[in-house]
Structure 1
Amino acid sequence: MGTRARARGARRAPGRPRRSRPGNRDSCRRRENRPGRAAACAAPHSKMSGKRSAKNPVPEKESVETKKVKVSHPSHRSQPGLVLTLGQGNVGQLGLGEDIMERKKPALVTLPEMVVQVEAGGMHTVCLSQTGKIYTFGCNDEGALGRDTSADGSETSPGPVELQEKVVQVSAGDSHTAALTEDGRVFVWGSFRDNNGVIGLLEPMKTSSIPLLLQLDAPVVKIASGNDHLVMLTVDGDLFTCGCGEQGQLGRVPALFANRGGRKGLQRLLVPQLVPVRGKGRKGKMRFQDAFCGAYFTFAVTREGHIYGFGLSNYHQLGTQDTEPCFSPQNLTCFKNSTKSWVGFSGGQHHTVCVDSEGKAYSLGRAEYGRLGLGTGAEEKSIPTVIPELPSITSVACGASVGYAVSRDGRAFAWGMGTNYQLGTGEEDDVWSPVEMTGKQLENRRVLAVSSGGQHTVLLVRDKEQS
């Protein structure tokens, strides 16, 4: 299928990405013609103050550890499972060793322990174990694996990230990885990028191959990554963002300063700052209960259930009526419905898939290659449109040009661009309506979660007899 060349908003839509060929491993730079990248930030390994301190004095002999408050959020996963990967693996993102560059069907990844969360970055994969340890594999050009991969081929198999704290959640973007500890601290490694290349992590233009602590004043309960931005939800219901702001995905940097921070420079982007949203709540601030990222955009759910969004919307992927980028949070009225609440969002380059509390999945945005799952010949949608032919759904996921849904009975459904074998059909054909993912490694197993990157997909599964 041909690509429509159209200039919308800040960026012309990228064309159909080429399929990577095995053996092209001299560099991980598969950077497709994407809008925007970014810069991150962090701070010294100092502990956060105030909010986590006990109100009453603590005896001097009592360990400091006892003062830490463990954070919780519905997005933290605890059900352990096995990891399967499929798609393109030319830089090791499948975790199957240096000889396997491609898998048309899900393949089992060998890990030292059971895993509770999997996240696919642009060209790397992050696994969180049930003991709170992190294992990574894939492209490490800018430190996204958080570990030394100087040994030949070591990036193509899972390896541990040296982080002493117990981790409860991870997120991954194009070239960065983030980890949330049980006491609400956030560590990051790798790099953020924009359209001109690397902009840094803690410091402008500097990457990090080891975890670095972000400095925030309140414990964080959830993290989410776009391609090159990071969103953090605090225990108080505030949103903090850092990274690339070129398309408005930070929700706090005006268009005038979105290109590398303007006169204030990259620090405007790299240092996590509050996303200001006026509301009727305490101190006139809107309080949030959840946040999700697309490639270049962000969704946030208020405690009252309202949906806000900011970032790229050149194909209406935010649900806005126009196609201009949103540089500040917008109340997305297309998601208002008194009979349902929204429980999950995921976004690719130019499309969004979401799920409501009734288990129905919806899509909106660009339709090319079948990425909306709305059937052959479907056209662009500016409002959430129910995806037919799906059973009751518990979670959804998006890759660059693909979509996924996990059903209540543990099956995974896929649709969209077939070029990279991410759909599990074993073919390169695009799929315009949801098809159930199949394969030997899925037999007698329940799918717990799916995550998809630029050219590969990761599944977390569990044997049915254990479920």
Structure 2
Amino acid sequence: MAPRTRKPAAAEAPAKAPKRNAAPKSETTTTTKSVPITKDAAATRASTRKTTTKAAPKAAPKSTAKATKAVAEPKKTATTAKATAATKTNAATTKKTAPAKKAAAEKKAAVEKKPAKNVNGKRPIDEDEDEDDAVESSEASEPRPQKKTRVAATEDAPTGWHKQIIAKRRKRQVVHNPVPTTPLDIFVFGEGSAGELGLGSKPHDGKKPTDVKRPRLNHNLGAEAVGVVDIACGGMHAIALTKDNRVLTWGVNDDEALGRDTTWAGGVRDADADSDDEDDEDKINPLESTPTQIDNGELGEDDIISKVIASDSASFVLTTDGFVFGWGTFRGADGIIGFAKDIRVQPTPMLIAPLQDIVDIACGSNHVLALDTHGKVWTWGSGGQFQLGRKPITRHGGPTATLHPQPCGMFGKRHFATEIAAGSYHSFYTDDQGRVWSWGLNNYSQTGHYDDTGKDDAMVLQPKLVESLKDEDVEQIAGGEHHSVARTKDGRLLTWGRVDGHQVGQPADLFTEDNAMFDENKKPRILLKPTAIANLDIKFVAAGVDTSFAIDSDGRVYSWGFSATYQTGQGTIDDIEVPTMIDNTAIRGRKIVLASAGGQFSLLAAAHDEAGSPAVNGN
């Protein structure tokens, strides 16, 4: 893969860890042991109670019966204990022993009528019996029994702390997320050396599956045979949903982001062979580079998918009934953080608890946002740049505490979210009044705030109203790594953030001391204020790391920004300064409806024209 010519600021880019470093899931079990009651202890208890009253009680005290019962089996032990006690007692004790023995026998008979063991292999506790009594009266060294099993265990029931939610999840359904149904033609372009274009590992129609300079129809995702209805790019992988509810993935699988096994015995080169004798395609894993269905994991037959998204090292799906499943892992500046508590890397789909009634999801590089039907925004993943809108580490939970979804603010009937979006290390939501809130990394003013702009460690710690957008009537936002783009309800295109790679798509003469920050060489570095790009009527926006896309009302797509690996689709490795229409034989005359960008590759989608001629393969 061609290296990038420009590196991001040191504070925000998580370091990549060596490949396939996932550790197996750890499981911890806590066992409590009861202390056995010895003969001498029983005798001591009996002798201690002999002087408490002059007359024998009608029934033995509970503790005496308890001690007697504990040593009643075998009989030899009981006899020895009573004999020892008798040598130290007077007449009152003799009167006292008979009712105590009778009480112990009655209690033993009652115990024998109870179920011997519960589903955990332990004796259940009687309703009239204290827990401490149950422990002392159990066999020596037997684990302390539980009062109640939360979920009945079955052979096919999923394991883990979230199994109760799965068991009850279909008893109530609050949301009904729509399912996309229009089959799409998928066009890809960019690097592709790691299989992220999904073109397989071998040339097709004489064209290599790597270094695709302009949009090319993906032959592995044919609209009639496969029928992709939703698609998204991660950092170096992609995920798609088909018309028959299958989820396909392709690209880099180092952290199990593909949700399936891609172990391949190939890719080993002969050290003595001439490097010119082997094609680059021989090094591409065909199992990673070919779109293939994921393993089901905890996804059931009744789970209907409505949306797919991807981060750098993980993938997620949203179901029609408002539940989220995911797999892969999250990374921070020091490498892998984990996917969930006690789960370093999750290889197959897993239910993300406690989320339910979710209507939308969005991904950054290593964090996720979820919007529920009540207008509450949940966040989880890596929080090192405060992209979660809450503290990244808690005193009790440690660094993995951020892997558990939690609300990122106070939401209720008077203030709730209606839309969500994410950049690489920053986040957004739009509230019920149409106002935009943002938080996270802000070293290039990508949040729309001016807090410590220009400093490597500039961050907005929690959701904060974006004053610079309060009068813009924003309808859609997309975040890149250090820049952001937005579309207003009247079709205007707004951009702000990092400038030096033409990420904002603005001409050089636009930048002034009033709207931008300059470096020591007097070159524009940051566009501070969201600024409109004229003469475009925009219906959709998307952003990659340093690349952006906009689709106009006629279905024409424009791109701009960093293009070192052809990710702009313009056929050049030079940066694209301003929004430029992508025009080649593959998409000419097609109405583009969707764009998505990864780290070094991008894709476009158009509604499949079943009545028309097939699209021409681009170069």
Asked if TM exceeds 0.5, the reply is: yes
Q: Does 1:412 align with 2:557?
A: yes
Letter aligned with residue 158 of structure 1: P
Kept in 2, the 8 Å contact 1:93–1:139? The answer is: yes
Counterpart Cα distance in 1 of 2:530 and 2:443: 16
Kept in 2, the 8 Å contact 1:252–1:275? The answer is: yes
Per-residue deviation, residues 358-409 of structure 1 (Å, max 9, x unmatched): 011110001111110112465421221002343x111101111111101111
Q: Does 1:429 align with 2:532?
A: no
Kept in 2, the 8 Å contact 1:118–1:459? The answer is: no
Q: CA deviation at 1:264?
A: 2.2
Q: Does 1:83 align with 2:212?
A: no
Give the structure with the larger strand fraction: 1
Secondary structure at the counterpart of residue 198 of structure 1: strand
Match of 2:404 in 1: 271
Q: Does 1:384 align with 2:530?
A: yes
Secondary structure at the counterpart of residue 155 of structure 1: helix
Counterpart Cα distance in 1 of 2:329 and 2:611: 39
Counterpart Cα distance in 2 of 1:466 and 1:329: 48
Per-residue deviation, residues 413-440 of structure 1 (Å, max 9, x unmatched): 0000110101111111111111111222
Kept in 1, the 8 Å contact 2:324–2:356? The answer is: no
Q: Does 1:101 align with 2:210?
A: yes
Letter aligned with residue 386 of structure 1: A
Give the structure with the larger helix fraction: 2
Report how many aligned residue pairs link the two structures: 414
Q: Does 1:144 align with 2:273?
A: no
Kept in 1, the 8 Å contact 2:262–2:288? The answer is: yes
Kept in 2, the 8 Å contact 1:190–1:208? The answer is: yes
Q: CA deviation at 1:13?
A: 8.0
Letter aligned with residue 44 of structure 1: H
For 1:449-460, list aligned pairs within 5 A: 449-460=594-605
Percent of matched pairs sharing the same residue: 31
Letter aligned with residue 137 of structure 1: W
Q: Does 1:47 align with 2:165?
A: yes
Counterpart Cα distance in 2 of 1:170 and 1:464: 23
Per-residue deviation, residues 33-85 of structure 1 (Å, max 9, x unmatched): xxxxxxxxx952443799x87xxxxxxxxxx6xx5344237xx7443311111
Counterpart Cα distance in 2 of 1:115 and 1:462: 10
Q: Does 1:288 align with 2:422?
A: no
Counterpart Cα distance in 2 of 1:292 and 1:240: 12
Q: 1:160 to 1:45 in 2, by over 3 A?
A: farther
Counterpart Cα distance in 1 of 2:164 and 2:556: 43
Secondary structure at the counterpart of residue 440 of structure 1: coil
Counterpart Cα distance in 2 of 1:226 and 1:362: 20
Letter aligned with residue 217 of structure 2: L
Of the structure 1 ranges 297-306 and 112-121, higher mean CA displacement relative to structure 2 is found in: 112-121
2:584 to 417, 429, 439: 439
Q: CA deviation at 1:308?
A: 0.7
Runs of 4+ in 1 over 3 A off after TM superposition: 1-7, 26-29, 45-50, 67-70, 76-79, 260-263, 376-379, 463-467
Kept in 1, the 8 Å contact 2:338–2:400? The answer is: no
Q: CA deviation at 1:205?
A: 5.8
Match of 1:36 in 2: none
Secondary structure at the counterpart of residue 591 of structure 2: strand
Q: Does 1:333 align with 2:467?
A: yes
Secondary structure at the counterpart of residue 154 of structure 1: helix
Q: Does 1:352 align with 2:484?
A: yes
Of the structure 1 ranges 309-318 and 142-151, higher mean CA displacement relative to structure 2 is found in: 142-151
Letter aligned with residue 602 of structure 2: T
Match of 2:231 in 1: 118
User: So what's the TM-score if we normalise by structure 2?
Assistant: 0.63
Letter aligned with residue 393 of structure 1: I
Per-residue deviation, residues 204-250 of structure 1 (Å, max 9, x unmatched): 46101100001125310000000000100001110111000011110
Q: 1:261 to 1:79 in 2, by over 3 A?
A: farther
Q: CA deviation at 1:6?
A: 7.2
Kept in 1, the 8 Å contact 2:323–2:355? The answer is: no
Q: 1:199 to 1:355 in 2, by over 3 A?
A: same
Match of 1:71 in 2: 176
Letter aligned with residue 108 of structure 1: L
Kept in 1, the 8 Å contact 2:256–2:346? The answer is: yes
Greater length-normalized contact order (CA 8 Å, ≥ 6 residues apart)? 1
Counterpart Cα distance in 2 of 1:400 and 1:4: 11
Counterpart Cα distance in 2 of 1:248 and 1:12: 11
Q: Does 1:158 align with 2:304?
A: no
Counterpart Cα distance in 1 of 2:293 and 2:383: 31
Q: Does 1:208 align with 2:326?
A: no
Per-residue deviation, residues 280-299 of structure 1 (Å, max 9, x unmatched): x53x6x31111000000100
Letter aligned with residue 196 of structure 2: Q
Kept in 2, the 8 Å contact 1:320–1:332? The answer is: yes
Match of 1:311 in 2: 440
Gap runs ≥5 in structure 1: 15-25, 30-41, 54-63
Match of 1:343 in 2: 475
Kept in 2, the 8 Å contact 1:370–1:376? The answer is: no
Counterpart Cα distance in 1 of 2:588 and 2:8: 42
For 1:29-48, list aligned pairs within 5 A: 44-47=162-165
Of the structure 1 ranges 203-212 and 453-462, higher mean CA displacement relative to structure 2 is found in: 203-212
Counterpart Cα distance in 2 of 1:43 and 1:308: 33
Counterpart Cα distance in 1 of 2:174 and 2:428: 27
Q: CA deviation at 1:122?
A: 0.3
Counterpart Cα distance in 1 of 2:234 and 2:8: 27
Q: 1:305 to 1:28 in 2, by over 3 A?
A: farther
Kept in 1, the 8 Å contact 2:341–2:404? The answer is: no
For 1:167-246, list aligned pairs within 5 A: 167-204=305-342, 206-216=344-354, 218-246=356-384
Kept in 2, the 8 Å contact 1:444–1:464? The answer is: no
Kept in 2, the 8 Å contact 1:399–1:451? The answer is: yes
Kept in 2, the 8 Å contact 1:198–1:205? The answer is: no
Q: CA deviation at 1:301?
A: 0.6
Secondary structure at the counterpart of residue 586 of structure 2: helix
Match of 2:546 in 1: 401
Counterpart Cα distance in 1 of 2:20 and 2:603: 19
Q: 1:203 to 1:413 in 2, by over 3 A?
A: same
Kept in 1, the 8 Å contact 2:250–2:290? The answer is: yes
Counterpart Cα distance in 1 of 2:232 and 2:389: 24
Gap runs ≥5 in structure 2: 22-159, 203-208, 265-284, 512-523, 613-619
Q: CA deviation at 1:4?
A: 9.9
Counterpart Cα distance in 2 of 1:301 and 1:327: 17
